[in-house]
Amino acid sequence: MTHRAYDVPMAGGPLKLGRTPLVMGILNVTPDSFSDGGDFSALDAALAHAEDLAAEGADIIDIGGESTRPGSDEVSVQDELDRVMPVLDALAERGFEAPISIDTYKALVADQAVQAGAKIINDVQGLQRDPEIADVAAHHSTPIIAMHWDTERDTARDLIDEMKRWLSRSVDIALKAGIARDAIILDPGFGFAKSFAENYELLNRLDELHALGFPLLVGTSRKRMIGNLLDVPPKERVSGTIATSVLGYLKGGHIFRVHDVRANRDALRVAAATLYGPPQLEG
């Protein structure tokens, strides 16, 4: 399919989404994330990993201070700030160039992070847990990613129809708060309140979500939908993740949130060259 083009307004210049897939590198500064919990919770390790992700070609770095793995405990606003703010401040001091998104559903964390230099807010609760986060995004003219996570969905109804209905509420919250329509990105929320089979149905029908009229972020990296299928632990799910990223791109996805940047970036470049032709190379 042909990718829809979007110019998402962002501090420092618009985020151009379309035929060229963008890769968002994951930086979890948490002790308990499902794949890399504790690996980058120390400041030096977090900073080094941010630099590694950028060197591998990440277009965006997504920093999160609270795990959303099944069974994880919620953390307080202060604990989340204590985890993410030193990293944001240190990256700003270094003149880190890749745009940073803050992975949070808490309005206060989002506000502090944007003031410290984050350029995108990534809310896994789709603005429906703490609606004031939409006010923060509107106040700072910050693009927002609204993810689908509907724990009360009627599973007897069509999956995509229910997702469209829930995500439309997220869009309404954003627009009523004053967020520009072109500053909204949607994430279908692979792995969140969806069964094993539903995740693969979603991947197969991802293109149906374009009817909502917003760019799509695909986040399947190392998730249980891959691990259960292949019977491998999180850090051995790279190949499976690449397959889902490429399939998501072929269904019109724009941004791919991954742990393994270089591998996914390379695969997506091949997929883009196949769909639209390779770039002209010198020599």
Catalytic residue set: 223, 257
Place of tokens 């959303």: 68
Residue 138: CA count within 13 A, CB half-sphere: 16
Residue 128 C-alpha from the chain's centroid: 17
Helices (H), 183-252: 196-204, 224-230, 238-250
Identify the residue whose tokens are 């940047």: 261
Among the listed residues 188, 200, 250, 255, the one whose alpha carbon sits nearest the alpha carbon of residue 225: 200
CA 229 distance to own-chain centroid: 23
Spatial distance between the Cα atoms of 219 and 174, rounded to a whole number of angstroms: 21
3-state SS class at 243 = helix
- Cα 230 to Cα 171, 236, 269: the distances in Å are 35, 9, 25
* Tokens 């883009």 belong to residue: 272
Q: What is the DSSP string of 2-60?
A: PPPPEEE--TTS-EEESSS-EEEEEEE--S--TTTTTTT-SHHHHHHHHHHHHHTT-SE
Contact between 164 and 206 under an 8 Å Cβ cutoff? The reply is: no
